[in-house]
Structure 1
Amino acid sequence: MARYVLKRLAHTVLVLWAAYTLAFILLTALPGNAISNLINNPQNQLTPEDGKLLKAFYGLDHPVVVQYVHALDALLHGNLGYSLSSGAKVADLLGDALPGTLRLTALGFVFGAVIAAGVGVVGSYARWNWLRTLLQSFPALAASVPSFVIGILILYSFSFQLHLIPAVDDGTLLALLGPAVTLGIMVSAPLSQVFSASIAATRRQPFVHVLQARGAGERYIFGRGVLRNSSLPVLTMLGLAVGELIAGSVVTEAVFARNGIGQITLNAVNTQDLPVVQGVVLVATTGYVLVNLVVDVVHPLIDPRIRADILAARPKKTKGSEKGAIPARPGPDEATSPRLPEEVATR
């Protein structure tokens, strides 16, 4: 198990490096940058000489390979660089905006999990066919509607018409409900689809029929066997859910005018502030791979089948191989005949 965890850690570090490198290559290949925009803006009254000094200060006058080495070295020392537009530290900008986005994504995930659980359970056990059909069609409907459309509908209905939630973020919990429900509906689509399919597949398993034959009720069968076995496939979807939450928070924060990583990302993209965009990519990728790492480590602990596969994949050391001896080949009878249990062999 320790070897499996070390492999997952190495894979996590490799993914982070690949994402940062790919983002650096793509962003530096784009035409223009924030300094060029500052120079071309007549309100700033900057001369070309000022632009050269700024490029030298930020290291943009070096070749791309040298810039990458300097950026990677600074990253290993905990320095994400400085914003080309404001001159502030990227780490400070992201640190100020990250708590609000974390609260939003955490509450959005809670709403998404509750919606997915309700749709999966009620849609599988409802007595009315129309309700089952309606809930089973919910994942496709929720996945087909963009998150900004859901956010606009919630904002218009509950803010402008019913006046139940604030239209602009004022730091209260009520202002967090609108964007959190928007993210929850978006992320509940894949979770509810997988959960519903998993419940249907689990209810067809032989142990369910055995419990039914013994007179067990549906509530007992669901609580003792169906729920646990149906939740395992949903656990593997948590990484995808976190990715959707991170991507959806950018649009949702813009719709509800919230200060967070989404607003910083939009401003950095509009001004071509490359260090800030790279910092956002690094933070988002770190959250995504850490959640997947936790899922990969926890999944074998709760699923004995995966744990057995991991243990079976370990190379087995024989007594002869430990001493450096060559193991003897089995005879033809020994190699082809099955090995019987001792109880059967002694009869």
Structure 2
Amino acid sequence: MKLVNNIHVPLFLYNTKYIRPLLKKELRVILVSLFISFLITGAKFAAYFLTHSVAILSDALESIINVVAGGFASYSIYLASQPKDENHPYGHGKVEFFSIGFEGAMIFIAGILILFKAVQYFIYPRELFRMESGLWVLGITTLGNLFLGLYLVRSGKRLSSLTISGNGQHIMTDVYSSLVLMAALITIHFTGWTLIDPIVSLVMGVLILNNGYKLMRRSISGLMDETDMKVVDKVITILSANRRENWIDIHNMRIQQYGNNYHIDCHITMPYYLELNDAHDEMKRVEVLVNEGFTNSDVEFFIHMDPCIPSCCHYCLKSACPVRSNAFTGEITWTRDNVLPNRKHG
């Protein structure tokens, strides 16, 4: 169940009515990115044919990746929008990690090609032509990429989309490298030092390789369910701010991410004498609170309830406990150190 405007909505209806329109917004954003990236890539190749600059060619090769990655991202967002089924009980959101991994691999390959072309130009230098025209074209494409990158980064945060955020960060990296490239070409134009051209290309190739590695690293950690400590801290903050006396402790918390949705397992220690309905209501409160704290995301909880034992008494907040066997000595603050391990705090 999902709480929407104080009404409990079945999860499958929520996914259809609320999550799918959100994913349609993601798809529209990424299609805009794909179209603009296609135009910018064409303009950069035009600048290369005007100038014969290997540094501009490096920038154009990276822009090809924007187009290819945008196409793959469009498909991944479409696939992520499909509802859960028997074969995919957690949904299709993991495909977003494949998307950023694919983009990272393509960027890495582009970096290798750029390094190769730079070394080739050191061995067989070429004369540069029409530098002013190339600079004008590069300036316009850099400005276009700047607006596109900012749009994607903001949209990724607003929609909690890994794919859009990753695409936006890549394009912003492209903007920074283009600015460095423009500074280098202006220097060449006024000094005639053409050796700067392949040197800048080498530097750009190394930076692009590093960017590709980071995206692939992020993809692998997501596919292998590496714990995102920022998400853990957010869940702990929400539960600590709304702590109830029946929640004696929370431990063995594990968080998996599927696109912009989360699956959380945890154990909650509660008074052993609670009736089943009361215990269920307490667990439901946990799920509702965390879902309210994760806007634009759906958080699915699997909670295992542990009965309290005498060693829990010294930190149990229940003031009117009829079976307390040890005096209360103080509240234990929930942190990563006691929420993540599979053991009661006592």
Give the TM-score taking structure 2 as reference length.
0.27
Structure having the higher strand fraction is 2
Structure having the higher helix fraction is 1
Give the TM-score taking structure 1 as reference length.
0.27
Q: Highest Rg: 1 or 2?
A: 1
